[in-house]
Amino acid sequence: MSRSKKKPADSPDDALPKAVGHRLSLYLRELQRLLSDGQETTSSGRLGQLLGISDAQVRKDLTYFGHFGYPGVGYRCDELIDAIRRILGTDHRWKVAMIGVGNLGRALLGYRGFAQQSFDLAAAFDVDQSLVGRPIDEVMVYHLDSLDETVRRLRIKLAMIAVPATAAQEVADRLVSTGIEGVVNFAPVTIQLPEGVSLIGVDLAIEMEQLTFAALNRLREDRSATDGD
Amino acid sequence: MSRSKKKPADSPDDALPKAVGHRLSLYLRELQRLLSDGQETTSSGRLGQLLGISDAQVRKDLTYFGHFGYPGVGYRCDELIDAIRRILGTDHRWKVAMIGVGNLGRALLGYRGFAQQSFDLAAAFDVDQSLVGRPIDEVMVYHLDSLDETVRRLRIKLAMIAVPATAAQEVADRLVSTGIEGVVNFAPVTIQLPEGVSLIGVDLAIEMEQLTFAALNRLREDRSATDGD
């Protein structure tokens, strides 16, 4: 996954490394699962084990935000869930726009995982007149021409871009002008946003390439290990 | 996006940082676009500019794999595309299995981006008998019981997991026993695979959370800047 901004993503002077935010999301998932399994408390060791990292890393990540554990008890799952949701900003719900309801956009409209984690798809946009004015998976489709007006009126703060690569930058620029806070770009192209608007790029084929790259690297390592004998 | 393995993902003794592999994919996308726009050559400066990184970083990444540029010319797009595809392993096609054809799995079956980058969805699997035996988007759906036999017979080397969270680890274990090389996990849970099988986790709601986290961090930074006045 690309996290592309004009500023390098993990510049050393960042107070909060991006990886910490990502791990907070992973802790939240595991805590929600533990709680739904009936576990009321847990520990940094258990969380670390579930995620394949050290207990020290878990404690260090949480220390950025305060003190959460109890001596002899560990973490109370419900309290830590609430705390992490506050830190991530998902203690209240966010409205999300989907731009482009072709193949992938339409699929994402039906994906239930967003609503479970505080994200409500509030509007979809497309240039195809035959799609406009009717809901898809209960999300109303508007014409792209009404983007600015609709996003402001519905107070939408986040957007997903699932338009063809050639249209992605223009759509992103129009979203920025509405005062949006963040964008997930699914179009297979790198787009540029100004500072102050977050951007995450998701290119599913790139993820697959990282698998084949890793598979080849294992082969290369095996060969060089054999060469060394 | 989570890249979870039992071994920490970016341990300092890795010869090839994972970020390099990811940037190779991004270079490839930009080179393909430049070439389709009629540009036969390009430079590290131009590639860096398109991706918001320095030209030195581009040259350093490529140096891991050889020498590609020509003095006074820069890179030939077609040559560099071929070279990067060889490095990533996408100079030949890979067969991919989709496990789970619910909401998200079905959407991914229709996603054209995979085929464009050398990935062929060769088979889908589900436990729902009513889906078995018929193709979805030209991909045949098999019963999960035939996973091992079908994956081996079709020589499938990669898989996407899009089953409910509770079933993901079991499905992953069964995939490992078929001798698969890599897995992209879309189920919203952290799964564990043995060394030697690559794993990438894609949780779309986690990506959204990173946007809200970043938006809140901007607010926190603004506040602390004001406090400092």
Range A220-227, long-range pairs (CB < 8 A, 24+ positions): A221/B15
Selected for mutation to probe chain A from B118, B213, B218, B219 (highest A CB count within 10 Å) is B213
What does the pLDDT average to over A175-190?
91
> Rg of chain A's alpha carbons, rounded to an integer?
21
Does the distance separating the beta carbons of A111 and B103 come in below 8 Å? yes
Q: What end-to-end distance do the CA atoms of chain B give, in Å?
A: 37
Does the distance separating the beta carbons of B29 and A189 come in below 8 Å? yes
Bridge partner residues of B97 (DSSP): B123, B159
Distance CA(A214)–CA(B19), nearest Å, equals: 12
Phi-psi region of A98 (alpha: psi -120 to 50; beta: other; left: phi over 0): beta
Does B18-88 match B94-206 in CATH topology? no
Sheet holding B139-143, edge to edge: B135-136, B139-143, B119-126, B94-99, B158-161, B182-185, B198-201
Is this complex scored with an ipTM above 0.85? no
Does the distance separating the beta carbons of B205 and A94 come in below 8 Å? no
Q: What digits encode the pLDDT tens for the residues B68-103?
A: 989 888 999 999 999 999 999 999 999 999 999 987
Selected for mutation to probe chain B from A111, A208, A219 (highest B CB count within 10 Å) is A208
What is the biggest distance separating any 2 CA atoms in chain B, rounded to whole angstroms? 68
Question: Chain B residues with CB inside 8 Å of A204's CB?
Answer: 108, 111, 113-114, 184, 202
Pairing of strands B182-185, B198-201: parallel
Q: What end-to-end distance do the CA atoms of chain A give, in Å?
A: 37
| Pick among 3.40.630.30, 3.40.50.720, 3.30.450.40, 3.40.640.10: CATH of B94-206 | 3.40.50.720
Q: Domain extents for chain A?
A: 18-88, 94-206
Query: Cα-flanking dihedrals φ and ψ of residue B135, to 5°?
Result: -80, 150
Question: Chain B residues with CB inside 8 Å of A31's CB?
Answer: none
Q: Note the CATH architecture for domain A18-88.
A: Orthogonal Bundle (1.10)
Q: What is the pTM of this model?
A: 0.74
Does the distance separating the beta carbons of A52 and B211 come in below 8 Å? no
Distance CA(B56)–CA(B6), nearest Å, equals: 32
Judged by average pLDDT, the poorest of A83-87, A206-210, B159-163 is A206-210
Size of interface A-B (CB pairs under 8 A): 230
Give the pLDDT of residue B215: 87
Phi-psi region of B72 (alpha: psi -120 to 50; beta: other; left: phi over 0): left
Give the pLDDT of residue A15: 59
Tokens representing B210 are 């990173």
In chain A, the percentage of residues whose pLDDT exceeds 90 is 57
Distance CA(A17)–CA(A21), nearest Å, equals: 7
3-state secondary structure of B134: coil
B159: amino acid identity, one letter: A
B90: amino acid identity, one letter: T
Question: Chain A residues with CB inside 8 Å of B208's CB?
Answer: 94, 96, 114, 117, 119, 158, 184
Tokens representing A146 are 């009404």
